Amino acid sequence: MKKQVMSVLGVLLSNVSSVYAAPDEVFGYLRMSVFDYHTRYFDEAGHVRIYPKRAQIDLTADQPEPQYLFAADTPLGNDIVISFAVDEAWSQAIYKVAKTDALGNPANERELIWQLQDNTIVIDGKSVPLTGFNGLHEIVVRAHGYKPRFINVHLTQKAPKIFVANGRQPTIGQELTLKLKDLNYRFKNPVYEVAVDNRVLADSDYRVVANLVTINDYVVKTPGVHFIKLKAWGYETAKRALKFARGYNSASSALPTESGDSNSLAAGPYMNAAVVFDFDLVSNAYILQALGYKTRAIERIIDTWENTEKTMVRSKKGNINAASDFYRWEDYTYAIMEAEVEDQHLTFDNFVQSNPVEYQGRPYQVKFMLADGHFGEAVAFNQAIAQEAPELEVFFDERKGVVKIRSVTNQSSENLENWLKHLERVKVGATQLWGYEYAIEESALIITSRERFILGNNRITLMAKDFRDVTLDVIIK
């Protein structure tokens, strides 16, 4: 498979064009906004995503989820009525209706007061997670045996009143600044659409600062009455008719420009972030692009890859201690291009066998590119280059009064045995256990010290030399 990947990359990647030349990981630095750097992404279990679990890209990820649930705009404080197509089995299986977490963590969903009523879900408008918060809220409905269903509900207050800033007469050829009275918000400005005479303006036709909306001087071209309409999340639509006087075009008239991605989160301040790419993931993105597939994940991966200043490469094959297996990206690509001049193919193994100078630079923390084009949580460099630990599960054996940790497959494996041999520390919460408080029995770790646990949720951290740390949660009842 890797040979096929690199054959295609021979055409696609001008900077890594040698057939079969494939390191496992490429490290580098990317100019990234501080906001993006600290944004977390969660898996379905509510765990923070750190490492890429696969190099395959889901081509269906961009397809919208089927719309199962429907709700009209609702005045803040009123009960919310969510309708759905008749589905008796699904509706009777519902066990939870909740407001989703702002960061997308399922573990932090906040349950709402709700009831089924005449083929609808009625949410009490006074449910604490919604009380006093006008705006757009994502609601999740969970039912046993079904995938979760989501809906955005819009809770509104009365429309803000539109004033003309400074009371100036609207005039053709001059910017028009409007002031919205009673527009309150917490973090993100809620204004998302401006229309003049029912024509929705492009992002480049106006700008928004706090409660001021400035429409560029070229938008309204004729004197007379024109109709302004402003939409903001959390409010009813604001409307006003204004009469424009005849005037002269301003010498400093702004011309419309191409608007960027209005949904982009890449707002400053910026920082240089150390990032890691799985080379197979990048290869797959270029292959899919060459085959005509266009998804946001593919675009994000390729765009980020091309804008990253690469520093070092490594192979993870057959070496438990990979701390020294790093080589300069520039040396690697130089050798590839030299080989191509001679019409030769240089594999990464051949490159390593040429005894290149090892790269000495080491970042403090790195972020891995994930298969959806986002970055995982920042992780310490020594953890990033360590071996992946076996997948484990934990449970409390009430009969024996011990906590047992074993492989998810419940089978002995070479990786599990190797990990157990290298196990150095076990922590419950912030407390490190002594050696006599746990034991290894039948390819499982048994924590015998019951007094180290409290009732409720307990976090266990397992540290093995040359392996990534493992954190597990167990509930003691």
Tokens 């600044």 belong to which residue?
Answer: 177
Give me the mean pLDDT over the 294-301 stretch: 90
Of residues 444 and 84, the one with the higher pLDDT is 84
Q: What is the pLDDT of residues 13-36, one digit of tens each?
A: 444 444 345 788 999 999 988 888
> What is the pTM (predicted TM-score) of this model?
0.67
pLDDT band of residue 276 (cuts 50, 70, 90) is very high
User: CA 42, CA 107: separation in Å to the nearest integer?
Assistant: 10
Give me the mean pLDDT over the 381-390 stretch: 86
Task: State the pLDDT at residue 230.
Answer: 92
For the chain, domains (ranges, CATH) are 2-61+270-384 (no CATH), 71-155 (2.60.40), 161-244 (2.60.40.1300), 392-476 (2.60.40.1300)
Is 131 in contact with 123 (CB distance < 8 Å)?
no
Task: State the pLDDT at residue 366.
Answer: 94
Task: State the pLDDT at residue 256.
Answer: 43
Task: State the pLDDT at residue 378.
Answer: 92
User: CA 469, CA 386: separation in Å to the nearest integer?
Assistant: 9
Of residues 128 and 413, the one with the higher pLDDT is 128
Cis upstream peptide for 269 (omega within 30°): yes
pLDDT band of residue 410 (cuts 50, 70, 90) is low
pLDDT band of residue 252 (cuts 50, 70, 90) is very low
pLDDT band of residue 266 (cuts 50, 70, 90) is very low
Of residues 305 and 402, the one with the higher pLDDT is 305
Among 276-290, 316-330, 358-372, the least confident range: 316-330
Q: What is the pLDDT of residues 124-162, one digit of tens each?
A: 988 888 888 888 899 999 989 888 889 889 999 899 888
Does the pLDDT of residue 368 top 80, yes or no?
yes
Task: State the pLDDT at residue 375.
Answer: 94
Task: State the pLDDT at residue 16.
Answer: 44
Burial grade of 377 (CB within 10 A; 0-12, 13-18, 19 or more): middle
Give me the mean pLDDT over the 409-427 stretch: 76
Q: What is the pLDDT of residues 45-65, one digit of tens each?
A: 777 888 888 888 888 777 777
Task: State the pLDDT at residue 35.
Answer: 83
Mean pLDDT rounded to a whole number for the chain: 81
Q: What is the pLDDT of residues 447-462, one digit of tens each?
A: 888 778 888 888 888 8
Task: State the pLDDT at residue 320.
Answer: 45
Q: What is the pLDDT of residues 85-121, one digit of tens each?
A: 888 888 888 899 999 987 778 888 899 999 998 888 9
Task: State the pLDDT at residue 411.
Answer: 55
pLDDT band of residue 9 (cuts 50, 70, 90) is very low
Does the pLDDT of residue 379 top 70, yes or no?
yes
Q: At what angle do helices 279-290 and 296-306 cross, to 10 degrees?
A: 120
User: CA 463, CA 247: separation in Å to the nearest integer?
Assistant: 74
Q: Tokens for 287?
A: 């292959």
